[in-house]
Amino acid sequence: GFGVSYPRPTWGNMLNGANNATIINTYWWQWLFTALFLAVTTICINIVGDALRDVMDPKSSVEK
Protein backbone atom coordinates (compact mmCIF):
# COMPACT_ATOMS: atom_id res chain seq x y z
CA GLY A 1 0.00 0.00 0.00
CA PHE A 2 0.88 3.62 0.29
CA GLY A 3 3.07 5.03 3.01
CA VAL A 4 6.44 4.49 4.56
CA SER A 5 7.73 0.93 4.90
CA TYR A 6 7.49 -0.56 8.40
CA PRO A 7 11.05 -0.43 9.75
CA ARG A 8 11.26 3.32 9.21
CA PRO A 9 10.13 5.37 12.20
CA THR A 10 7.19 7.66 11.57
CA TRP A 11 5.08 9.61 14.02
CA GLY A 12 2.17 7.26 13.44
CA ASN A 13 4.27 4.14 13.96
CA MET A 14 5.79 5.61 17.13
CA LEU A 15 2.38 6.43 18.57
CA ASN A 16 1.01 3.04 17.55
CA GLY A 17 3.89 1.38 19.39
CA ALA A 18 2.72 2.93 22.66
CA ASN A 19 -0.59 1.11 22.75
CA ASN A 20 -0.51 -0.56 26.17
CA ALA A 21 -0.27 0.74 29.72
CA THR A 22 3.18 -0.72 30.41
CA ILE A 23 4.79 1.15 27.53
CA ILE A 24 2.86 4.34 28.31
CA ASN A 25 4.00 4.34 31.95
CA THR A 26 7.50 2.90 31.59
CA TYR A 27 8.70 4.28 28.24
CA TRP A 28 6.87 7.60 28.29
CA TRP A 29 9.45 9.35 26.10
CA GLN A 30 8.55 7.10 23.16
CA TRP A 31 5.11 8.66 22.81
CA LEU A 32 5.25 12.01 24.66
CA PHE A 33 7.64 13.86 22.35
CA THR A 34 6.03 12.35 19.27
CA ALA A 35 2.58 13.47 20.41
CA LEU A 36 3.86 16.95 21.27
CA PHE A 37 5.58 17.39 17.89
CA LEU A 38 2.46 16.16 16.10
CA ALA A 39 0.26 18.60 18.04
CA VAL A 40 2.62 21.55 17.45
CA THR A 41 2.86 20.72 13.74
CA THR A 42 -0.93 20.55 13.44
CA ILE A 43 -1.35 23.90 15.20
CA CYS A 44 1.32 25.53 13.00
CA ILE A 45 -0.30 24.26 9.81
CA ASN A 46 -3.63 25.62 11.05
CA ILE A 47 -2.10 29.05 11.74
CA VAL A 48 -0.45 29.15 8.30
CA GLY A 49 -3.75 28.16 6.69
CA ASP A 50 -5.60 30.94 8.52
CA ALA A 51 -2.96 33.47 7.46
CA LEU A 52 -3.16 32.35 3.82
CA ARG A 53 -6.95 32.64 3.90
CA ASP A 54 -6.69 36.18 5.27
CA VAL A 55 -4.16 37.17 2.59
CA MET A 56 -6.09 35.59 -0.29
CA ASP A 57 -9.53 36.88 0.75
CA PRO A 58 -9.28 40.02 2.89
CA LYS A 59 -13.03 40.67 2.59
CA SER A 60 -13.82 37.54 4.57
CA SER A 61 -12.22 38.87 7.75
CA VAL A 62 -14.57 40.47 10.25
CA GLU A 63 -13.52 43.87 11.55
CA LYS A 64 -13.98 44.45 15.27
pLDDT digits (tens, 9 = 90+) for 13-56: 888 888 888 888 888 888 899 899 999 999 999 999 999 998 89
User: What are the sequence ranges of the domains in the chain?
Assistant: 11-60
pLDDT at 42: 97
Is it the case that residue 2 has pLDDT exceeding 60? Answer: yes
pLDDT tier at 1, thresholds 50, 70, 90: low
Is the separation of the CB atoms in 13 and 6 below 8 Å? yes
Is it the case that residue 10 has pLDDT exceeding 90? Answer: no
pTM above 0.75, yes or no: no
- What single string gives the DSSP state of each residue in 35-51? HHHHHHHHHHHHHHHHH
